[in-house]
Amino acid sequence: MTGAVLGADGLRRCGWGDSADDYRVYHDTEWGRPVHGDDALFERVALEAFQSGLSWITILRRREGFRAAFAGFEIAAVAEFDEADAERLLQDPGIIRNRAKIAATIANARVARELDGGLDALIWQFAVEPGARPAPHTLSDVPAVTPESTALAKELKKQGFRFVGPTTAYALMQACGLVNDHLIDCHAR
């Protein structure tokens, strides 16, 4: 695999981040930047779960539909969703209509609502210290799973979360800035 690619705008970025306009905006403005707040992190947990088995761009392009369908990912609101809401979501063309993932999102909101200290504190305790790992030179240097993501997934599952395996947890950590996996020559690093 190669290092960062030179975009038409003259900026070097991780190869995936220059493959489509949606990816370029997400890469340059959001991916890898610290995300805090229980509702903001709940959104990312939910979207990473929905992404399981699909490409991220599929989720990214439906993000506004997900936000509308899931009450802006406000934990308190989603935790109150009932079976009628789940059925409504199964009919919503603006989201991925997967019964298990919808049920998991609602169940995860209920778990998040009851967390001592909140979701932010739970997730951020697994952040990788800046400089603790060498910056990746190529995409093949970026792991899919790490000890931290395995520990995060284990803790989330212990609390009652669903659809949060070690790979999904690592994608969450990357997206929310708990680890910096921008390539060494990427402008966003």
Q: Is 48 a catalytic residue?
A: yes
Choose, from 16, 56, 74, 155, the residue flagged as catalytic: 56
Choose the catalytic residue: 23, 26, 31, 124.
26
CB contact at 8 A, 183 and 138: yes
Burial of 99 from C-beta contacts in 10 A (0-12 / 13-18 / 19+): exposed
From the list 23, 31, 43, 48, the catalytic residue is 48
Assess whether 124 carries a catalytic annotation.
Answer: no
- For the question of residue 16 being annotated catalytic, the response is no
Catalytic residues: 26, 48, 56
